[in-house]
Amino acid sequence: MPFVDKIFREYDIRGVFSKDYTADFATILAKAVTEHVRAKVKTPVLGERYRFAVGRDARPSGNDLTPRFINALIEEGFDVVDLGVVPTPLVYFSTYHFNVDAAVSITGSHNPTEYNGFKICVGHSTLHGSDIQELKKGCRAIEKGGPKSIKTNPGKLIPQDVVSVYLTDILSRVKLSRKLKVVVDAGNGTGCVVAPQLLERLGCEVIPLFCDLDGDFPNHHPDPTELKNLVDLQKAVLENKADVGIAYDGDADRIGAVDEKGRPLFGDELLVLYSREILKRKPGSTIISEVKSSHRLYNDIRKHGGNPIMWKTGHSLIKSKMKEEKAELAGEMSGHMFFS
């Protein structure tokens, strides 16, 4: 059997590679996703072929999964915008800045190296809940021999340097008032390909820590929400008298931070800092967090003139609520942060 049902989770599709699913599953899933995209997006964004952005993290299993996923998309007549090894947030970025109908980040996120998975977007929305269960049904149908592939001319592969586009966009909008000394712990994950150069181009002095891509994560587990994984960062901040230390998980969609004294800043504390800055510029803004955040976050937002909303945990649920409320900022204790 190429996959087990438990990999279809609330927010993504994820499991232990070669145990919970095989490389053949990437082909099956890609074909199921093309059916889903055709059903949800009646007219491709460019009016002819559907276009699908594909990014991945550095895990070794991605070398097996990514080509199979891409080849299945091309076989189904989709053009594939190949982003390469990039942070998951740059895959989301691509859905706004490139002409694509859907996207996937092939990543195990903050999990150990033996895990891998798929975070899928259709339009600007990340699939979750019932949509993921529909994909499971589609995968089972394909596994059993149907439905058949749509006969069409193969799509084409379009390599795209999303990092340069992202850096240009951020640098056009963000200016620092003073030079900062920053330690960056990328945990050998995809933060390596963006964070050090972005901060340097913003004028920071950057001290890199584990900023060499290695999907086996040889130095520490890539989850900055676990305090034991911040020990090296804390030490480097103190030794170098840095202003701040920043850490990322395997696909760089979770952030951790420590202050100049080496003290960890939790998700709700980071949201306090972000919300105060935003509320100075945009008084009355709506800001969303989740049930695990402290009351002091919601009280601080209210005190500084904002509209705080407590919502359900889960990045897909938070992002959906953010769009509904037209919120400027949202975030979770897990280190997922979202700016409008």
Residue positions counted in the chain: 340
Are 20 and 61 contacting, i.e. CB atoms less than 8 angstroms apart? no
Tokens at residue 237, please? 């901040």
DSSP 101: S
**How big is the chain by its Cα radius of gyration, in Å?**
20
For residue 227, the tally of other CB atoms under 10 A from its CB is 12
The yes-or-no answer on residue 109 being catalytic is yes
Which of 61, 94, 109, 275 is labelled catalytic? 109
Count CA within 13 A, CB hemisphere, residue 50.
25
Task: Give CA–CA dist 215/129, Å, rounded.
Answer: 28
In which element (H, E) is residue 75 found?
Answer: helix 62-75
Chain centroid, CA 126 distance in Å: 10
Q: How far is CA 77 from the centre of its chain?
A: 26
Would you say 309 and 322 are in contact if contact means Cβ atoms under 8 Å apart?
no
State how beta strands 337-339 and 329-331 pair. antiparallel
Sequence letter at residue 47: G
Which among 115, 97, 98 has a CA at the least distance from the CA of 106?
A: 115
Query: Based on the number of CB atoms within 10 Å of its own CB, is 252 exposed (0-12), middle (13-18) or buried (19 or more)?
Result: buried
CA distances from 268 to 183, 257, 331, 338 (A): 21, 12, 8, 13
Q: Look up tokens 């008084």; give the residue.
A: 283
Return the active site residues: 109
